Structure 1
Amino acid sequence: MVTAVLTALVGGCLAWPGSSATAAAAPATKAAAPVEAAAPTSFTHPGVGVSAGQLSFVRDKVKAGAQPWKSAYDQMMGSKYASLTRTAKPRAVVECGSYSNPNIGCTDEREDAIAAYTLSLAWYITQDERYAKKSIEIMDAWSGVIKDHTNSNAPLQTGWAGSSWPKAAEIIRYTYDGWSSSGVDRFEAMLRTVYLPKTINGSQSNGNWELTMLEAAVGISVFLEDKNSYDKAVDKYRARVPAYVYLASDGALPKTTPGSGLDTRDKIIGYWQGQSTFVDGLTQETCRDFTHTGYGISSIAHFAETARIQGQDLYPEIKDRLRHALGFQAKYELGEAPPSWLCGGKVNRGLGPVTEVGFNALHNRMGIAMANTQTLTERGRPQGTNNLFVAWETLTHANNPN
């Protein structure tokens, strides 16, 4: 059953009361200068989130009726996003305020983007061109109308929708020959002028904002074959991931991103929701709630997956942060009571369907033991969609060796 829609978040940094435990005073830690990125000489297509090899693996498993892929496919095909009678609801300006107030086209845009991606997967698996045509219909509808996103949640909204659009477009453009050149050109122009400018420069709000925006930016860069934007997205990602997930090797305080203004211990603790004891896998939003934490963890994995497909494997670089982030949150999501030093002894669970991509990459491909994450992942199968930007990852990534 499709996961219930999650409430859009408010912008900025929300500080929580400090826990009873405190860390020793220490100077603010600054992130190291980002390593120079390296866009591929030649981009791989389809190559945003899923590769041709991964898609073929999924199609073979579904055709064979193998689990968990068949149940995940049935879940997807039974959802509203796979409907062949869907009518897109594009608008020129999508206005999204804090907590989706106002919500003028926000839900419509996100769900149409997820639908376009869902239909592209349905096309690839079934080879029924009705699904490809419907996906194109939705993408053409939006690319012919939308001009801007406004209000306080505009950057995040652009990131959410902008994460799904290139996934759909990559599959359709490179596995189906029925998308007109004018349609492709107009869709490229939409991504280049409406979505990329609002996502590529990142955000100093809560970390899930920038991570989702960068996920969108790298996917768009692949579709546009824009090496400069790809490099910029990777540079920002390499600075943001260490500032979102703490490791003991970081020192007494978490790392920060360039330009954050977090130059004192008190500011850093405030940004980390009042949490003052730091352990491996704690994220900047753990003490806010697990739902927003799940957004951030998901985008970390999504970005790394796209980069890997493009020949730039970032997983070795971020594997310790990602495995600890997944494992730490999974432990409490599974029901373990938090200690008093963690978020004042109370966590707000609800991680969402966000573990498959990271678990498959780290456990199945790299051989890393991840007991809590494995339990949570397998218990949640088939993982569906959060109705924002995560969709059908048991289908696309469960035990996928490609």
Structure 2
Amino acid sequence: MRTGTIGRGLGLAAALAALLTGISMTPASAGRAGPDAAPAAAGAAAPASFTHPGVLVSRPQLDFVRAKVQAGAQPWKSAYDQMMASKYASLGRTAKPRAVVECGSYSNPNNGCTDEREDAIAAYTLSLAWYITQDSRYAAKAVEIMDAWSAVIRDHTNSNAPLQTGWAGSSWPRAAEIIKYTYGDWPDSGRFATMLRDVYLPEVINGSNSNGNWELSMTEAAIGISVFLEDRASYDKAVTKFRGRVPAYIYVTEDGALPKTAPGSGLDTREKIINYWQGQSTFMNGLSQETCRDLTHTGYGISAISHIAETSRIQGQDLYPEIAERLRHALGLHATYQVGNPVPPNLCGGSLKDSLGPVTEVGFNALRNRMGIAMTNTATLTERQRPAGSNNLFVAWETLTHADNPN
């Protein structure tokens, strides 16, 4: 569902969100805690035919980036130089695949967790390097890394397995889409598809009732994998998860006295909801379920939301209008304090931990540049952080790919 003039105001975005996600627009009923309700059905989300490459970045976006880099234009040239100087762009990289990746809480134990995530980021980095330079050595190295993992991996285990699978599973299809559809010399692409279908998708497709960044990262992986596999049923299921989770992750005042709850969460009392929101009992526009935990995990959630919406837009059904009100408030609230404004006492006791990380470019470009929403503090933070690098988990080079990208 595309909309061409959302920039004229956010009332339409909010109304669409209410219609398509089951958000009540009446404060009297919105704040009641009670049994979880599934979002209103909105029909099939998957396109009749998938666009390739089409996970986070499209061919028109890649062409825009290549032209800017070739012209030496900023900030794209400095972002490109940063990427090419990173370990992820090295043509000497040797993949480190494992049959079983074991990841405990905070990756302890870490048996292949870092190796898998970083090899997936490297494959994506090398695919971007291939497209921009048209030097086939980069594409061949990306293929080598993806083939090494698809020949070996069989499972993810221990407590962080769902999140680990979501992180790595978000990066793999970005790389695979670019290589398969712009390079093409990949004899074992079918084996890679089987890996995504059998090892990754079952781990992420059913979501999680842990902290919201888990389910959002898992959903991002599920949607990207579904695009590469052209799996319409899984794509639809992932979008349904997204529509249920975003209102439960970012609060807006129209929700009423309490935040929304995700379907199946079991958060059916005020006490349970406040506890889930890290003990925060004062709710304000843009507050996330993890704001009072720390901004780093909040950044993971915001990033995944932006990535999912970006992929949906490429695929022809733009989810941005449904979540624009929440996303712009979330970016704005957290940017306000990250750029140096004092934190009020009623927000996390007057103190926020850590930082969002390099995660604002995609959402900022969509909301400010495409939809015409003024975002002063987000602009300040985004420009201050340029060129945005990688968080070494699932975010990489978004100044390069999305800064002021009109496509």
2:55 match: 48
**Which of the numbers 83, 88, 91 marks the counterpart of 1:84?**
91
SS class of match (1:276): coil
**Which of the numbers 292, 296, 299 marks the counterpart of 1:287?**
292
How big is each residue's C-alpha offset from its partner over 1:365-396, in whole Å with a ceiling of 9 and x where there is no partner?
01100000000000100000000000000000
Shift of 1:38: 2.0
2:286–2:333 Cα contact (<8 Å) kept: yes
2:183 match: 176
**Which of the numbers 81, 95, 101 marks the counterpart of 2:108?**
101
2:252 match: 247
Q: Aligned partners of 1:35 and 1:215: how far apart in 2?
A: 20
Q: Aligned partners of 1:369 and 1:193: how far apart in 2?
A: 43
1:306 match: 311
Aligned: 1:35 with 2:14? no
1:245–1:283 Cα contact (<8 Å) kept: yes
Aligned: 1:200 with 2:205? yes
2:216–2:301 Cα contact (<8 Å) kept: yes
Q: 5 Å matches for 1:309-324? A: 309-324=314-329
**Which of the numbers 48, 61, 77 marks the counterpart of 1:70?**
77
Q: 5 Å matches for 1:3-18? A: none
SS class of match (1:280): coil
* Letter of the 1:353 counterpart: P
Shift of 1:33: 2.3
Q: Aligned partners of 2:336 and 2:350: how far apart in 1?
A: 14
Q: Aligned partners of 2:93 and 2:406: how far apart in 1?
A: 33
* Letter of the 1:33 counterpart: P
Q: RMSD of the alignment, in Å?
A: 1.1
Q: Aligned partners of 1:48 and 1:35: how far apart in 2?
A: 24
After TM superposition, the score normalised by the length of structure 1 is 0.92
Q: What stretches of structure 1 of length at least 5 have no aligned partner?
A: 1-25
1:34–1:236 Cα contact (<8 Å) kept: no
Q: Aligned partners of 1:35 and 1:325: how far apart in 2?
A: 25
Shift of 1:336: 1.5
Q: Aligned partners of 1:258 and 1:60: how far apart in 2?
A: 44
Q: 5 Å matches for 1:340-359? A: 340-359=345-364
After TM superposition, the score normalised by the length of structure 2 is 0.91
SS class of match (2:359): coil
* Letter of the 1:60 counterpart: A
1:18 match: none
Aligned: 1:333 with 2:338? yes
Q: Aligned partners of 1:298 and 1:34: how far apart in 2?
A: 24
SS class of match (1:175): helix
How big is each residue's C-alpha offset from its partner over 1:153-177, in whole Å with a ceiling of 9 and x where there is no partner?
0000000000000000000000002
SS class of match (2:102): strand
SS class of match (1:95): strand
1:142 match: 149
Q: Aligned partners of 2:99 and 2:258: how far apart in 1?
A: 44
Shift of 1:31: 4.8
2:283 match: 278
Q: Aligned partners of 1:359 and 1:351: how far apart in 2?
A: 13
2:170–2:217 Cα contact (<8 Å) kept: yes
1:82–1:122 Cα contact (<8 Å) kept: yes
1:12 match: none
1:17 match: none
Shift of 1:253: 0.2
Q: Aligned partners of 2:151 and 2:219: how far apart in 1?
A: 24
Shift of 1:306: 0.3
Shift of 1:34: 3.9
**Which of the numbers 130, 152, 164 marks the counterpart of 1:157?**
164
Shift of 1:32: 5.0
Q: 5 Å matches for 1:205-224? A: 205-224=210-229
* Letter of the 1:283 counterpart: S
Q: Aligned partners of 2:67 and 2:385: how far apart in 1?
A: 23
1:7 match: none
**For the structure 1 residues 348 and 58, does the alpha-carbon distance in structure 2 shift closer, same or farther, using more than 3 Å as the test?**
same
1:115 match: 122
SS class of match (1:312): coil
How big is each residue's C-alpha offset from its partner over 1:60-103, in whole Å with a ceiling of 9 and x where there is no partner?
00000000000000000000000000000000000000011100
1:133 match: 140
Q: Aligned partners of 1:316 and 1:134: how far apart in 2?
A: 38
Q: Aligned partners of 2:322 and 2:265: how far apart in 1?
A: 22
2:39–2:240 Cα contact (<8 Å) kept: no
Q: Aligned partners of 1:148 and 1:61: how far apart in 2?
A: 41
Shift of 1:178: 1.2
Sequence identity, in percent? Answer: 77
Shift of 1:346: 1.1
**For the structure 1 residues 34 and 160, does the alpha-carbon distance in structure 2 shift closer, same or farther, using more than 3 Å as the test?**
farther
Q: Aligned partners of 2:38 and 2:127: how far apart in 1?
A: 40
